[in-house]
Amino acid sequence: MRRRDFLRDTALGTGALLASRWASFAHAFESNTRGARVEVLLDEPLGTISPNIYGHFAENLSGVIYDGMWVGENSKIPNINGIRKELVEEMRKIKPSVVRFPGGCFADSYDWRDGIGPADKRPRRTNFWEDGESPSAPASHKYDPNQFGTNEFVHFCKLIGSEPYLAANVRSLTAQDFYRWVEYCNSPKGSTTLADVRAAGGYSDPFNVRYWGVGNESPQFHQELSFIASGPNVEDWNWTRGFLEEVLKKGHGQLRSIYGMALHHYAWNLSRGATQDWVKGKRDALQFEPVDWYELLREGDRMEGLITGHWQVMSEFDPEHSIKLVVDEWGPWYRPGNEATASNQLEQIPTLRDAVFSGMTLDIFNRHAEKVGMANCAQLINCLNSLYLAHEEKFCVTPVGHVFAMYAEHQGGQGLRTIFSAPDVTYDRDGKPARFWGLKGSASLHDKQLVLTVVNPDVSAARESEISVRGASIQSGSATTLTHTDIHAHNSFEQRNVVAPQSRSINGKGGTLTYSFPAASVNKLVLRLA
Please report, in tens digits, the pLDDT of each residue of the chain (530 residues total): 333 333 333 333 334 333 433 343 333 334 334 579 999 999 999 999 999 999 999 999 999 999 999 999 999 999 999 999 999 999 999 999 999 999 888 998 999 999 999 999 999 999 898 888 888 888 999 999 999 999 999 999 999 999 999 999 988 899 999 999 999 999 999 999 999 999 999 999 999 999 999 843 233 444 568 888 888 888 889 989 998 998 888 776 678 788 999 999 999 876 445 445 555 568 899 999 999 999 999 999 999 999 999 999 999 999 999 999 999 999 999 999 999 999 999 999 999 999 999 999 999 999 999 999 999 999 999 999 999 999 999 999 999 999 999 999 999 999 999 999 999 999 998 889 999 999 999 999 999 999 999 999 999 999 999 999 999 999 999 999 999 999 999 999 999 999 999 999 998 778 899 999 999 999 999 999 98
Regarding pTM above 0.85, the answer is yes
CATH number reported for the structural domain that contains residue 106 in this entry: 3.20.20.80
Cα separation of 260 and 323, whole Å? 5
Q: Which residues contact 72 (CB under 8 A, 6 or more apart)?
A: 79, 82, 147
Given a contact cutoff of 8 angstroms between Cβ atoms, the answer to whether 265 and 236 are in contact is no
Q: Which residues of 150-182 are buried (b: 16+ CB within 10 A; e: fewer)?
A: bbbbbbbbebbebbbbbbbbbeebeeeebebbb
The answer to whether position 154 is within a domain reads yes
Main-chain phi, psi angles of 391, to 5 degrees: -155, 120
Other Cβ atoms within 10 Å of 505 Cβ, number: 8
The answer to whether position 517 is within a domain reads no
The answer to whether position 477 is within a domain reads no
Cα separation of 495 and 377, whole Å? 24
Nearest to 263 by CA among 290, 243, 285, 286: 243
Q: Which helix (H) or strand (E) holds 140?
A: helix 139-142
What does DSSP assign to residue 405? H
Cα separation of 52 and 67, whole Å? 26
The answer to whether position 175 is within a domain reads yes
Total domain count, the chain: 1
Nearest 5°: the CA angle 58, 328, 150 is 40
The answer to whether position 473 is within a domain reads no
Range of the domain at 215: 56-87+94-274+323-349+366-391
The answer to whether position 434 is within a domain reads no
The answer to whether position 224 is within a domain reads yes
The answer to whether position 142 is within a domain reads yes
